Amino acid sequence: MAVMIRQKTIIKETATRGLGLHSGRDINVKLKPAPANRGIAFKRSDRPGSPALPAKSGNVTSTTLATTLGRGDNSVSTVEHLMATLLALGVDNLLVEVDGPELPVFDGSAVEWVRLLSEAGLVEQNAPRGHYRVTRPYQVASGDKSISVRPASRFSVEAHIDFGGAIGRHCFYYVESEPAFIREISRSRTFCQLKDVEMMHRQGLALGGSLANAVVVGDDGILNPEGLRYNDEFVRHKILDFIGDLAMAGVPVIGQFVLHKPGHELNRRFLIEALAQPGLLEMTRPGAEKGQSVHRPTYDQPSDDLPTDARSLLPRLTLTLEEALPSIGL
């Protein structure tokens, strides 16, 4: 009998701040626990009365340089690195309050989100987590770019990029697990070419962009004095972005993915088209009917009065984070 996997949220509210890549502004973010079955949603705290934006593929309105949820005044951009971290660490329900039009970029990677979620701690909720099972092979392509998926019992991503020049050609294979995400994927940074930075600045974009929050590649190589974190950092970051964009399905999509030259727009198109294919993605809730076989303390409505040792409810996550964090220098 399948064991029920429970939904999770964070144990306590937590906050951070940082520079917005495109606005160049200082942005404040609060992560708040949310009830089971609520999902991930973003709310603009600087626009009282604006409805919360559920992190779902139908709400993705722009994929220029980053992934944006919502439209016009009520939108939040650059959500993909947080979304990837939430999916990888198994956070199903969360309210993200942000006082500007984008999330902070931090160092261009997902490390700060991993740190913040580990500080908040995670707690299981009294509801089963569903996921989409891929029932048959499927592919979306555009020129020499493509995303394909096959049925599999675990989520994995094999990605290939070929930029030529100083970025070059790389591939990487990721098989989902919390430690693998933290060690292999979360530290990889956004990258861009110097000529694109100059063009974006002329358009008033990427005003906060600097060598502190992206790998910048010139004609003769990498401009960042510290160099790369991995020699294949670029392709690892493409996997980070893909996981974040795929998280817009609302639940994990379990399958074996192969990406060729992926980007936010192809990621978005893949998900929307896959969701529209009859019978391709089958929603399952393992053990939902007979989930009582596993008994653990759970909280329907996480709040500040959770016991201080609530973190001990999650030995697996706590252990893997403690194991993994020293290795990435946090």
Q: Which residues are known to be catalytic?
A: 264
Cβ contacts of 78 within 8 Å, gap of 6 or more: 20, 21, 22, 66, 67, 68, 102, 103, 105
If binding is defined by CB under 5 A, does position 118 make contact with Zn ion?
no
242 versus 299: smaller Cβ distance to Zn ion: 242
Q: In what order do the strands lie in the sheet with 131-134?
A: 253-254, 131-134, 281-284
150 versus 183: smaller Cβ distance to Zn ion: 183
Tell me the closest approach of the beta carbon of residue 213 to Zn ion, in angstroms: 11
Reference 27, options 134, 102, 120, 114; nearest CA is 102
101 versus 244: smaller Cβ distance to Zn ion: 244
Residues found in the chain: 330
Give the per-residue contact string, 230-269, with Zn ion (x = CB under 5 A; - = no): -----------x----------------------------
Reference 62, options 281, 276, 261, 263; nearest CA is 263
Tell me the closest approach of the beta carbon of residue 248 to Zn ion, in angstroms: 14
Tell me the closest approach of the beta carbon of residue 178 to Zn ion, in angstroms: 20
If binding is defined by CB under 5 A, does position 190 make contact with Zn ion?
yes
Nearest residue to Zn ion by CB is: 241
Tell me the closest approach of the beta carbon of residue 175 to Zn ion, in angstroms: 20
9 versus 190: smaller Cβ distance to Zn ion: 190
User: Please, are residues 160 and 36 in contact by the beta-carbon 8 Å criterion?
Assistant: no
Stretch that binds Zn ion, among 189-197, 207-215, 297-305, 307-315 (CB under 5 A): 189-197
Q: How many helices (H) and strands (E) does the chain have?
A: 7, 21
C-alpha atoms less than 13 angstroms from C-alpha of 257 in its C-beta half-sphere: 29
**φ/ψ (deg, to 5) at 226:** -80, -10
If binding is defined by CB under 5 A, does position 124 make contact with Zn ion?
no
User: Which residue ranges make up the site for Zn ion (CB under 5 A)?
Assistant: 190, 241
